[in-house]
Structure 1
Amino acid sequence: MIFTGRGRARFPDAVAAFETAVRQGDGERAQQAMQDIQRHFEHAGDADLAEVGPRLAALLPTVPPGPRALVAVLVGACVERGADAGACAPHTFEGLAEVLGVAQEFCARWAATGGGDFPDPDPAALTEAALERVGQDAAVGWITLPQWEMASNAMLNHLAVRTTFPPEVRLRLLRALHEIQEASGHDFKCLRYALLVLDDEPLLALHRPTGTGYLLRMTGIGDNFQLHTLLADVLIGGGHVPGQAPSAQEAAVCRDAPGQVPTTGAFNLVTPGGDWVWNEGTPTDIPVVEGVRVVVLDPPPYKRGWPAGRFFPGMTGDLVLERVLGADETREWLGRCAPPK
């Protein structure tokens, strides 16, 4: 179908109508305008989406909790199409913090009214009996948490948002997520991993077989699968240690290229204390020793492959070599490391 200029204009008109209805407290008109926004969103131009994203984000504090989550998702979609993440993030994270608090209340009420298996955070999984146990407000917080996860991840894909995120707020959100997981058994992994992403973070890699060491810097790496492939690219591909280097495509998809391609592990990642650093975890699993994260690279105990790529396809990642450690410095570091457990 070919959309005329008039057709494309329906999206910003719908947004304007939604703004007016929200500010006037007209729920019926706001609902109709939101339906129009959703209907025309796919065919809206990137320039329109970039312009209305911050406007929709500014409305989040005044939209009721249920539809607020849908607005947050739309804000995230606007950011993915070019809206300013920095302008949209503050209200999005305020809403996330609020809904995490409500979800914690849901968990507490569920435990206080008999416990048992928690329903999935999905409207279809919340029965009438479950709703009676926890109340409407707590239930809305629980079932809309996945939508806030989507919206927040769209913000956290952007380096500028992550690097200006107050550490105390990040820690508070992670603590709330941990408490919800402990209480309910539900792990909102994507949000947790996004909040754990490290940027401009030094990493000391000690290659035990060759007795060599390397100071690197990592940014935007979502999980240790991605880190593992990039370590092999920089160190093996750079001619520093022996082994089979990833192909150019395997490395590229771990930085900024789209898609996934098969790869094979080159190392066994180990902490200085001898514990394995699992690929399924994040770089925050690597401990900090004297102000720098330190990982030991041992030969892989078995062959292991996985799809090379990024845990967050919209997040650019990188690992760069800053310097090669001297022999004495490396020997001192390795002398303090335990063998793998």
Structure 2
Amino acid sequence: MIFSKAGFGGAVADFESAVVARDTKRSGKAFVRLQETFGQAKEAELLDGGPRLAAVLEHVPAGPRAVVAVLVGACVERGADAERCAPDVLTGLRVALEDAVAFAEAWEATGGGAFPVPGEGEPGEEIVERTGFDAAVGWWTLRQWEMAAVAMLNHRAVRAGADDLRGGLLHLLTAVEQASGEPFKCLAYALLVLDDEPLVALHRTSGTGYALRFSGIGDTFQLHTLLADALIGGGHVAGHAPSPQEVAVCRETPGQVDTVGSFDLTAPDGGRLWNEGSPFDIPVVDGVRLLVLDEPSYRRSWPAGRFFPGMRGDLILERALEPEETERWFARVSPAKEVTG
């Protein structure tokens, strides 16, 4: 495939060859051109450029590596093959997280204090002296790696291929969050997304139970709306059903639509599960996530939609449980606890 040297494709080719040749001066110039030409890139250049940039990520110096990863993510968002790009991006994320953990340890060992807020460019001399260059860059660029990784994890095939990696990445991320006091919610929630996940929902008022299965749901707000559609909208239980528009934006239609809550979501032990959480928070009982649906204790509204606009969400009602089966599941749950404070 031949591209004009003036365009994004030409910048990719120049950057690729310069990085492989370890030509710092030429790769620096091509790096600037990558950023300057991306906005005018043609579809073919993006489809070709994303995987090519991903393939050289490990050879890019630590400073600009995260910016190149963000460009790879942007190519994927505009159609480049996420499965080809993801392994190198997620490997780069792992290295950045490991370096950020090392930064946290070195920062604490040299006096601690509030973590520095990353700005443009590379970390300053004083910070590098305290923690080392690679560790400082790991912390400095973590938001960029978050953007790039989420662009990959929007794709179900990538999540499936990264199943063995996600637990380790989440462990490293949790260590960074705890040390820094800085949440990386988008990355954390993306690493927690479940696919083809079985769920048993028990509707306490009617004493009925339902077997469902969900995929690609970023937060519990989104799950709440889709549950209300399946069970109330489907005529199985009484309550407030969301509109077709509210449901559509929780599946794959762009945008947000105001909605009203239909349930209090309760864990098997009676504790409240908040909409702000992740479906991963729903406890597993006998190998299945088990959720109790109680009547809403107060009116709550929010903009229905997807936590990850680039990720398709889905929830399927497989069947209503038989009365005996429902009774066995209800035997595993406690009354809802009173929420205080």
TM-score range relative to shorter protein:
over 0.9
Q: 1:93 to 1:125 in 2, by over 3 A?
A: closer
Q: Offset of 1:127 from its aligned partner? A: 5.3
Q: 2:245 aligns with which of 245, 249, 262?
A: 249
Task: Give the corresponding residue for 2:272.
Answer: 276
Residues 298-320 of structure 1 show CA distances to partners (whole Å, capped at 9, x for unaligned) of 00111111110010000000001
Q: In structure 2, give the amino acid aligned to 1:324.
A: A
Q: How many residues align?
A: 336
Q: 1:330 aligns with which of 326, 330, 336?
A: 326
Q: What residue ranges of structure 2 are gaps of 5+ in the alignment? A: none
Q: 1:219 aligns with which of 192, 215, 218?
A: 215
Q: Offset of 1:26 from its aligned partner? A: 1.1
Question: Please, what TM-score do these two structures have when normalized by structure 1?
Answer: 0.95
Distance 2:142 2:283 in 1: 30
Local SS of the residue matching 2:312: coil
Residues 20-54 of structure 1 show CA distances to partners (whole Å, capped at 9, x for unaligned) of 11111111111111211211111111121011111
Q: What residue ranges of structure 1 are gaps of 5+ in the alignment? A: none
Q: 1:290 aligns with which of 277, 286, 301?
A: 286
1:13 aligns with 2:10: yes
Q: Offset of 1:139 from its aligned partner? A: 1.1
Residues 106-128 of structure 1 show CA distances to partners (whole Å, capped at 9, x for unaligned) of 00011001111112244489555
Residues 269-309 of structure 1 show CA distances to partners (whole Å, capped at 9, x for unaligned) of 00111111111110111011111000000001111111100
Q: 1:283 to 1:126 in 2, by over 3 A?
A: same
Question: Please, what TM-score do these two structures have when normalized by structure 2?
Answer: 0.95
The more displaced of 19-28 and 106-115 is 19-28
Task: Give the corresponding residue for 1:90.
Answer: 87
Percent of aligned pairs with the same amino acid: 60
Task: Give the corresponding residue for 1:160.
Answer: 157
Q: Supply the RMSD in Å over aligned alpha carbons.
A: 1.7
1:264 aligns with 2:263: no
Q: In structure 2, give the amino acid aligned to 1:335.
A: A
Q: Offset of 1:9 from its aligned partner? A: 6.0
User: 2:122 touches 2:137 (CA, 8 Å); kept in 1?
Assistant: no
Task: Give the corresponding residue for 1:116.
Answer: 113
Distance 1:146 1:6 in 2: 31
User: 1:269 touches 1:297 (CA, 8 Å); kept in 2?
Assistant: yes
Q: 1:182 aligns with which of 178, 186, 205?
A: 178
1:27 aligns with 2:1: no
1:145 aligns with 2:142: yes
